[in-house]
Amino acid sequence: MATRLKEVDAVIVGLGWTGGILAKELSAAGLKVVALERGKMFSTAEDFQVPQVRDELRYVQRHELMQNAARDTLTIRNNPNQEALPMRRLGSFLPGEGAGGSGMHWSGHTWRWTDMEFKVRSRYEERYGKSFIPADMTIQDWGITYAELEPYYDKFERVAAVSGKAGNIDGQIQPGGNPFEAPRAREYPLPPLTPILANEVFSAAAKNAGYHPFPRPSANASRAYTNPDGVRFGACQYCGFCQRFGCEANAKGSPHMTVIPIAMRNPNFELRTHAWVSKILKDASGKRVTGVTYTNVLNGEEFEQPASIVLLTAYALNNVHLMLLSGLGQPYDPVSQKGVIGKNYCYQTGAGATLFFEGRNFNPFMSAGGSSASADDFNTNWDFDRGKHGWIGGYNLSSGFNTALPIGYRPVPRGTPAWGKEWKAATAKWYQTAMNVGVSGSVMANRYNYFDLDPTYRNAFGQPLMRMTFDYKENEHKMGRHAAQVINDLAKSMNPTRLNEATARTEPWTVVPYQSTHNTGGTIMGTSPRSSALNKYLQSWDYHNLFVVGANVFAHNASYNPTGPVGALAYWTADAVKRYTKNPAPLVSA
């Protein structure tokens, strides 16, 4: 029998970037806030010290900072005709666990998604006609605009110490930045990271080809920095251990050293770690949620935590899972296309080439998380005519290094044996003399890519696992072929000694190897309760005191990394919740 605790103003489920931002903002606004986090507390001093943190086996191969698939995972299939089976070990994506969440082990890439995404259906229909969008492509407008989100992007960039170069300030194109970005009010808080050789080689070739390369914006402080909350950052040391690792220098913007400790200084806020939330509770009226039930995983004790407001801020996949487990909203059905919970799961795609340059020294071990040069000529460049290519979306073209450690990164020309003396010689010869050119590509929503509850498999708490049905569709394959051609043409223009050409992906999506922890959708925001789970303030259409924050609200997935809009939307939602507390009602009438 669960112990019923005293009601609080707001309960936060999951404490990463989104939960941390809401914890800080709402406790500062005077709300009594409790956060429930299934993992432990982290601190730079105790958890991310040199030399222990420099351990590829522990953090990359053995998933030290990640969720434990033995306790909870997903079942996976490529289409509704397959039988889903559990993802028995993490692979393709790596959600984090603990106070700080995936915001501790990310690389820091921080982009501003624009109206090209937020108004995706209306803009493509307007320019290319309704028939340009395939019948099964369930893309829809998000209900929010870039102009509304701009101040919140700005806030997040300053909190997280993003280094970059503006390309468009108030409509004025800025030399050195991305000319295809949406207008910004002002520069990044920090200048760009120092370019590495691969960035320079790529940028020179990209310019020659008529593209517009620029330094990737990233929450790796290019110099020592104090953010607007007074949090001090060290300068990035280009240590080469970024993705999957915590940062010993406090140079990578992370919730465990920014918003979370600030919230913890506020007596209005309480963090309970090792608290596994298994259900969100609703009242008999079916209009309000009343709190959550959770288990203390250190001793098995069960609690009910009543709250006036529930803020669901776990990893995107976990947010959708909890909505389904709690019976909140109507589950999505791909046959009737009715229901919204589980709808529009999206992922990302990519392609890449490896270029070998005899005699050069790329020093791949010497890089920041964001040591990339990028070009958006086939991404946020709306002037690029998709009409003649027949695909929707975009891809960011880039080159650089991020965590190129030797278990995972040992490039050799295709055809090299996998072991023996010849393999050793090639591995030794090319490790420092190779670079990559690659793309990260968008994935448009599709009717048959979705989540529901698995009928067979259960987690450690006896609850159904969430079932993921996903594969790439023809739209992504067409874009992949275009991208591979662009990569290979660019790579050949650089005259490498040897070249492993990029190939367009044709195989089904697989749970191995690692691809991207950019899982989006499932409880999407939108303009109508018939087609979305949440309104533009990430407030549930069905339960007005429930807000769900994370990449699970994205109505489709872009080429860019998701954390920019995730952070901005968390600040946007914090303001909405503050208004909501004065008049607890739907913020948008259905």
Residue 497 main-chain phi, psi, to 5 deg = -60, -45
Residue in 109, 321, 518, 556 annotated catalytic: 518
User: Distance (Å, rounded) from C-alpha 59 to C-alpha 105?
Assistant: 9
Which neighbouring-strand residues pair with 11? 34, 310
Q: Is the dihedral of CA 221, 225, 231, 234 positive or negative?
A: positive
**240: alpha, beta or left, given left = phi > 0 and alpha = psi -120 to 50?**
left
Give the shortest CB-87-to-other proteins separation in angstroms. 6
Among 4, 70, 185, 528, binds other proteins (CB under 8 A): 70
Give the shortest CB-248-to-other proteins separation in angstroms. 5
Q: Is 57 in the site for other proteins (CB under 8 A)?
A: yes
Q: Is 464 in the site for other proteins (CB under 8 A)?
A: no
Q: Residue 171 or 359: which CB sits closer to other proteins?
A: 359
* Contact between 309 and 547 (Cβ < 8 Å): yes
Q: Residue 12 or 577: which CB sits closer to other proteins?
A: 12
State which of positions 355-414 bind other proteins (CB under 8 A): 360-363, 365-366, 405-407, 410
CA angle 233, 31, 522 (to 5 degrees): 75
CB-based contacts of 135: which residues, under 8 Å, 6+ apart?
none
Give the shortest CB-218-to-other proteins separation in angstroms. 14
Which neighbouring-strand residues pair with 451? 468
Q: Is 159 in the site for other proteins (CB under 8 A)?
A: no
Q: Which stretch binds other proteins (CB under 8 A): 84-92, 167-175, 180-188, 311-319?
A: 84-92
Residue 477 annotated in active site: no
* Contact between 26 and 570 (Cβ < 8 Å): no
State which of positions 92-151 bind other proteins (CB under 8 A): none
Q: Which stretch binds other proteins (CB under 8 A): 120-128, 283-291, 501-509, 581-589?
A: 501-509
Length of the chain: 590
Q: Is 298 in the site for other proteins (CB under 8 A)?
A: no
The secondary structure element, H or E, covering residue 32 is none
Among 3, 4, 30, 88, binds other proteins (CB under 8 A): 88
State which of positions 337-366 bind other proteins (CB under 8 A): 360-363, 365-366
* Contact between 27 and 33 (Cβ < 8 Å): yes
Q: Residue 88 or 530: which CB sits closer to other proteins?
A: 88
Among 18, 27, 44, 442, binds other proteins (CB under 8 A): 44
Give the shortest CB-108-to-other proteins separation in angstroms. 16
Q: Which stretch binds other proteins (CB under 8 A): 107-115, 166-174, 417-425, 444-452?
A: 417-425
In eight-state DSSP terms, residue 57 is I
The secondary structure element, H or E, covering residue 125 is helix 120-128
State which of positions 209-268 bind other proteins (CB under 8 A): 229-241, 248-250, 257-258, 261-262, 264-265
- The number of C-alpha atoms within 13 Å of 64 and in the hemisphere containing its C-beta is 18
* Contact between 53 and 245 (Cβ < 8 Å): yes
Among 489, 508, 528, 530, binds other proteins (CB under 8 A): 508
Catalytic residues: 518
